[in-house]
Amino acid sequence: MEKENLNFSFSELEVTSRPRQFSVGSYGNNYNQKDSSSVENLKQLASRRNTSEPQLSNINNIPITLNVPIVYPAILSQVATVFMRYVPVASYIKDSIKYTNCFRGSDAVEILKLIIRTSDRNLALLLGRALGSQNFFHDVTYNHFLRDNPNELYQFSTAITNLSIPAAVNESLCNINEENKSEDDDSLQEKKEQVIESAKKSEINALPNGVYTLLTRCYSPTCSEGNMCYSISCPRRLEQQNLLNHVARTTALAEKIMNKVDSGNSENQYWSTVMPESIVKSVSETERKRQEVIFELIKTEREYVEDLDLIQKLYIQKLRFSNIIEEEKRESFIGKAFINIPQLYLINHRFYQLLCARQKQEPVVSRVGDIFLACINDFEHYIEYGFKQIFGKYIVETENLKNPTFKDFLKQCERHPKCRKLPIQSFLARPTTRIGRYPLLIEAILKRTPETNPDYKDLKEVIVLLKNILQQINEKAGKAQNNLKLSLLNYQLVFNSGEWYDLKLTAPERKLIREGTFNIKIQGYETELTVFLFDHLLVLAKRKKNGLYKVFRTPIPLETLIINDKSLHQRRASSIFNAKSNSDRNSISSVKSNSSSNLTSLQYQDINKYPLVLVQLGRNGGMYVLYAMSFADRRAWKDAIEKQRAVVQEKMKIYEIVSIGTSSCFTVSNRVNCVLPFNENLVVGSENGLYIGPADGSGSFERIINLPKINQIDILPDLEFFVILSDKSVYVYSCNVLKRDSSSSVENEKKLCSNVTFFKVGLCLGRYLIACVKSSTSTSTIRTFEYTHSQSTKNRRLMKLLKNNNSKDRVKSFKEFYIHDECNSVYYLRSKICIAGSKAFQVIDMETLLTQDLIDFSDPSFEFMKRKDLVIKPLSIFRIANDIYILCFSNFALFIDRLGRRARPNKMIYWLGVPTVFAIHYQYIFAFDSEFVEIRSLESCEIVQIIHCHKLKNLNRNTLHCVMEGQTPYQIIFRLICPTVPVTEIEREAELQVLVLASKMKSKKQIIIILIT
C-alpha cells in the first residue's frame, strides 16, 4: 500500500497577510561590489515580503550566474545577515493554524542560491541546514530541519525576532519601569542605558557563527582570479574540471542527510497491513481508503497523547521538584510556560480511549463523528492554550538565555530517547498543530463517507465546530502576538536625552500594523531606518548596536500624515525638507548621520528608484523621503498607511465639511476674506467688494458694495446696521443694503475711521461698544464708538418719521486711548476689555483706563512662561465655564480662573499646528492652521479630529465658515457641521452673543461700538 494515499491534505497551505519585516546591520565585506544582478534579484524576492500574497511563482525566471557571491559564502554569520534581510516573510495558515513571521522552505533555498551565486539547490539546502542547526530558524512545529518544499514553514528563533536584545535585558527593563514609576523620564532612560551596557558582555550572539568548509576559498594570499594558484588542490584550479562531480557529490550528500532527518522511529503501519487479508479484501477501494484515514487518526492520536504525557513527566514534574527554577517563581513559570497541558492530556486521553474502544468493537470502523461530538466541548480549552502559547514560548526562551541550569536541563531532555532529539518548543507546539490537523483528517474521512452513512452528518457538524474553535485561536493568538511585540517595543524605543513622547503602546486597543526598513539620505549620506506603523502613529527609528531603537525625529500622528508623490519631481536631491506653511514654523534642519560606519555594504545601485514621500503637517512637520527596496514594497507601505489613516479619520469623525460650492466670482485673484450669514443668504467679503448669495450655494453671488479688500464684517445687535473693514477703513451700513435696497447704500453709509487693523463689537459698561486700533509692534491706538440702539417698534417708527434712522446719527465717538504693546485681539468683560498683546494678556479698565496683567505671575505654575527662550504669542481668550477662561497662545493653551491663577493645572494643550484663529463650539475648541483644522475636547484637551484643507482660512469663527483652495482656480467656501446637531442650533449659537447683548439692553438707550485702530 502506498503511503501517499494517506497524505491527502496534510500540507495544504493558505497564504494570508504579511505582518512584518526584519532589519539587519553590516554585511561585513565588499563581495557585492563586483556584480549588482544578484542584488536586484534579492530586492525582487524581498519585495514579496510586503505583499498580501508573497508568492514566488516566477522565481525560475530570475537569472542565476556563477559569479562572485554577495558575501563570503563560507562565513555563516554573513550569510545569515543577508538571508534574514531578504527572505520573504509572511503569515501563512497550515493545518488551519495561522503562523506569523514565517517563510517557506523553497523560498529559503532560493534566497541562499542567490546569496552564494550557485544553481545547485542541494548545496544551498545544506548551507541552510547548517544555519538551522544553530537555532537560527526552525520549523513551525519543531519537527524537522530545512526542506526544499513550499509547503513547509519556518520561523526565525525568538532571539532573532526579539530585535537581538537578550531576554534577560528585556526583563530588567521591565523591572526598572515597574520599580521607578515615580521618577522622571530622564532618570529612567539612564537606567535603561545602564542595563543595556551591563548586559553587553554577557549578551549571546543570536546569529550563527562558523565556517562552512564546502564553500571556503583558497587560503593562499597569492591566489586570485587572474593567476592560478600553485597548489594542485586549490578549489579555484579544480573548479571547472570537478564542477559536475561536485554537483553529484553534494546531491548525494544532501539526499543522505534528508533521508536521515526524515526517517522517524514510528513504524510505518497502515490499516491494510495490520488487518487480516480477508477483511481488507471484503471492503471496497473507497472504504479501504476511508479506513486508512481513520487508522491514521487513531495512530497519530496515540502519539500525541504520549507526547503530552512526556511533557508532564519529563518537564513539568522535574521542574516542579528540583531547583532548576527559583522556588519563588517556580509555579508561576510552570503555569505560564505549560499553561493547561495537564488538562489537555486528560481530554485527549479520554478521546483516544473512545477511539480505541470503537476500533476494538468494529475492525471496519463505521463512524467516528459521534466520538468527536462527545468531546468537542472539551476541545474549547485549546483556545486558552492557543493564545497563551505566544507568551509561554517567550518565557521559555527568556529563561533559557539567562538561566544556564535550565539550558543544560533542556539539552539533557533532548537526549532522552522519547524526545527523539526534539527541543522543548516542538512539544509545546504540539497542541496547536494537533487541533489544526483534526479538520483535515475529518475532511478526508468525509470525502470517502457515503451520504447515507449516519457518520456523514456528524462529521460535517464536527468540521463547523472545529473551524469555529480554530478561528477563535487564530484571532486571540494574533492579539497576543501583537501585545507581546508592543510590550517589547515599549522598552526598546528610546528618545534622545531631554526628549520624550508618550507613544501609548500599552493602550488596550493598540496595534502594530506594519514594520520594515527603509533607507534615507541625510546630507548626502545614506542610513537605514526601521519604520513602525501603529494604529495611531508612524515611528521612524535608528537601530542601535545594543538592540534598542532610537526614535528619529518626532513620532508622526496618522491624522497629520500625508503621502505626497508629486513633490519628488520638484525636490529629489534631498531626503528631508522643511514643510513651512507660514513663517512661524520651526524648520527641520538636516542632521548628519552618526552611524555611517554601520551602513550596509550591500550597495543600492539606484536608491532613487523607489521613494516613499511622507509629509507631516504641523509645527514639527517636515518631508521625509524614504527609499524602499522595490516598487512592490513601496506600494504595500503606501496602501497600508493610507488604509490605516482612513480608519483613524473615520473613527475621529465628528464634524463634516459641507461645501457651499464654488463661484466664478471668487478666484485666486479675488480672495474671500470673511462671511456673514444674514437670513437665508450669505454675505461674502472679498478683495474686490461685498457679495451676497444663497447660503446653501444654490445660486450665484451678486456684488452689492464696490469696496476693495473687505477683510472683516459684523452685524450690530439690533440687526439694522452692519460694520465692515475695507482697506483699513471702517464703514457702517444699513442692513437694507443686504436686502438689495440700492437707495440705502449711499444714504446710510458712514465712514468711522481709517488705518484700522481690526474691529470688535461687544457689550461693556452696560453699553454697546465697537472698537478699532491702529496696531503696531510697539504701540496700539484704540478708538471706541457708541452705537444708539432703537429699542421698540414705536421708537423705530418715530425715528423713521423724524428721518433719524441712519448710521450718522446712531454712532458717536466714545473714548480713545493708547497701549504700549501690540494688539492681536479684544475680549469684552463687564467693565473692562482684555487685550492680547505681544507677550501677555492685559486688562484695561474702561472707566479709569488703568492696565494690568491678566495672568497672576506670582502663581508658581506660570514659571515656565518666564523663560527667555520660550517664544509665545497671545491670540485669543474664551470663557468656557463660570469663572474659568482658556487662554490661547500660538503654541499652547491653558486655563485660568477669574483671579488670573491656573485652573486645571494638570490640563494643558500643545498645538500640533501653528494656528492663527480659534473658535469654541459646544465642548470643543477649534484651532485653524493653514493646512488643517485641529479640534480638541475642552474637557480632556485631547485631539478628537483633524480635518485636512489646502491653504485654509477661517471666515467666521461663530458659524465655522471657512475657505480653501482646490484643484481649480476657484476657491471653495465650506462650513464645518456636526451631523448630530441641527444646523439651526449652530446658527442660534452663532447669534447667541447678539441676542444676549440685546436682551441686556432693554432698559438702555445706547450701544457703544469700539473700533481698534
Give residue-wise pLDDT tens across range 780-798: 999 998 887 655 444 454 4
What lies within 8 Å, CB to CB, of 129 at 6+ separation is 145, 146, 257
Is 172 a member of any domain?
yes
Distances (CA, A) of 607 to 570, 622, 703: 17, 21, 55
C-alpha to C-alpha distance for 924 and 920, rounded to whole angstroms: 6
Torsion angle of the four alpha carbons 183, 186, 191, 197, in this order, in degrees rounded to the nearest 10: 170
**Which carries the bigger pLDDT value, residue 602 or residue 821?**
821
CATH of the domain at 606: 2.30.29.30
Q: What is the pLDDT of residue 186?
A: 52
**Which carries the bigger pLDDT value, residue 753 or residue 991?**
753
C-alpha to C-alpha distance for 310 and 813, rounded to whole angstroms: 99
Q: What is the pLDDT of residue 157?
A: 79
C-alpha to C-alpha distance for 267 and 291, rounded to whole angstroms: 18
Mean pLDDT for 632-657 is: 91
pLDDT band for position 1002 (cuts 50, 70, 90):
very low
Q: Is the pLDDT of residue 549 over 80?
A: yes
Q: Is the pLDDT of residue 95 over 80?
A: no
CATH of the domain at 33: 1.10.10.10
Q: Are residues 143 and 179 in the same domain?
A: no
Q: Are residues 359 and 400 in the same domain?
A: yes
Which domain covers residue 538, as residue numbers? Answer: 495-641
Tell me which of 434, 463, 489 is where a domain ends: 489
Sign of the alpha-carbon dihedral angle for 328, 331, 332, 337:
positive
Q: What is the pLDDT of residue 497?
A: 81
Q: Are residues 184 and 124 in the same domain?
A: no
Grid cell, residue 983, equals 444646523
pLDDT band for position 34 (cuts 50, 70, 90):
very low
Q: Are residues 151 and 178 in the same domain?
A: no
Q: Are 699 and 713 in contact (CB under 8 A)?
A: no
Q: Are residues 891 and 796 in the same domain?
A: yes
Counting runs of H as helices and runs of E as strands, what totals does the chain give? 27, 45
Q: What are phi and psi of 96, to 5 degrees?
A: 70, 5
Grid cell, residue 662, equals 464654488
Q: What is the pLDDT of residue 1?
A: 38
Centroid of chain to Cα 99: 22
Q: Are residues 813 and 910 in the same domain?
A: yes
Residue 800: in which H helix or E strand, if any? helix 793-801
**Which carries the bigger pLDDT value, residue 870 or residue 372?**
372
Q: Is the pLDDT of residue 26 over 50?
A: no
Q: Are 571 and 625 in contact (CB under 8 A)?
A: no
Mean pLDDT for 681-700 is: 89
The DSSP result for 662-700, as a single string, is --TT-BTTS-EEEEEEETTEEEEEETTEEEEEETTS-S-
Q: What is the DSSP letter of 211?
A: B
C-alpha to C-alpha distance for 413 and 426, rounded to whole angstroms: 12
Mean pLDDT for 147-171 is: 66
Q: Are residues 733 and 799 in the same domain?
A: yes
Q: What is the pLDDT of residue 113?
A: 87
Is 960 a member of any domain?
yes
Is 237 a member of any domain?
no
SS3 label, residue 124: helix
C-alpha to C-alpha distance for 936 and 892, rounded to whole angstroms: 12
Residue 514: in which H helix or E strand, if any? strand 512-522
Q: What is the pLDDT of residue 166?
A: 43
The DSSP result for 530-585, as a single string, is EEEEESSEEEEEEEPTTS-EEEPS--EEGGGEEE-SGGGGT--S-SEE---SSTTS
Q: What is the pLDDT of residue 472?
A: 92
Centroid of chain to Cα 599: 26
SS3 label, residue 636: helix
C-alpha to C-alpha distance for 335 and 935, rounded to whole angstroms: 47
Is 183 a member of any domain?
yes
C-alpha to C-alpha distance for 1007 and 732, rounded to whole angstroms: 14
Grid cell, residue 645, equals 489613516
Is 231 a member of any domain?
no
C-alpha to C-alpha distance for 62 and 40, rounded to whole angstroms: 10
**Which carries the bigger pLDDT value, residue 10 or residue 452?**
452
Q: What is the pLDDT of residue 226?
A: 53
SS3 label, residue 722: strand
Tell me which of 455, 489, 523 is where a domain ends: 489
Strand 892-897 to strand 902-903: parallel, antiparallel, or no bridges (unpaired)?
Answer: antiparallel
Q: What is the pLDDT of residue 537?
A: 92
Q: Are residues 24 and 108 in the same domain?
A: yes
Strand (E) positions, 688-779?
689-694, 702-705, 710-715, 721-726, 729-734, 750-753, 759-764, 767-775
The DSSP result for 824-842, as a single string, is -EEEE-SSEEEEE-SSSEE
Q: Are 541 and 549 in contact (CB under 8 A)?
A: yes
Is 553 a member of any domain?
yes
What lies within 8 Å, CB to CB, of 37 at 6+ separation is 63, 65, 67
Question: What percentage of the chain has pLDDT greater than the value 90?
Answer: 32
Tell me which of 641, 675, 693 is where a domain ends: 641
pLDDT band for position 910 (cuts 50, 70, 90):
very high
Q: Are residues 474 and 501 in the same domain?
A: no
Size of the chain in residues: 1013
pLDDT band for position 511 (cuts 50, 70, 90):
very high
pLDDT band for position 239 (cuts 50, 70, 90):
low
Q: What is the pLDDT of residue 809?
A: 66
Q: Are 822 and 776 in contact (CB under 8 A)?
A: yes
**Beta partners for 886?**
878, 895
Q: What is the pLDDT of residue 915?
A: 94
C-alpha to C-alpha distance for 533 and 636, rounded to whole angstroms: 12
Q: What is the pLDDT of residue 481?
A: 87
**Beta partners for 835?**
826, 842
C-alpha to C-alpha distance for 1013 and 1008, rounded to whole angstroms: 16
Q: Is the pLDDT of residue 123 over 60?
A: yes
**Which carries the bigger pLDDT value, residue 89 or residue 403?**
403
Q: What is the pLDDT of residue 237?
A: 58
Number of domains within the chain: 5
CATH of the domain at 448: 1.20.900.10
Q: What is the DSSP letter of 948?
A: E
C-alpha to C-alpha distance for 32 and 68, rounded to whole angstroms: 7
Q: Are 138 and 425 in contact (CB under 8 A)?
A: yes
Query: Across all residues in the chain, what is the average pLDDT?
Result: 77
Is 58 a member of any domain?
yes
Q: What is the pLDDT of residue 7?
A: 35
Q: Are residues 942 and 973 in the same domain?
A: yes
C-alpha to C-alpha distance for 764 and 1009, rounded to whole angstroms: 10
What lies within 8 Å, CB to CB, of 404 at 6+ separation is none
Q: Are residues 306 and 454 in the same domain?
A: yes
Q: Are residues 433 and 485 in the same domain?
A: yes
Q: Are 921 and 987 in contact (CB under 8 A)?
A: no
Identity of residue 216: T
C-alpha to C-alpha distance for 613 and 166, rounded to whole angstroms: 35
Q: What is the DSSP letter of 607?
A: G
Is 229 a member of any domain?
no
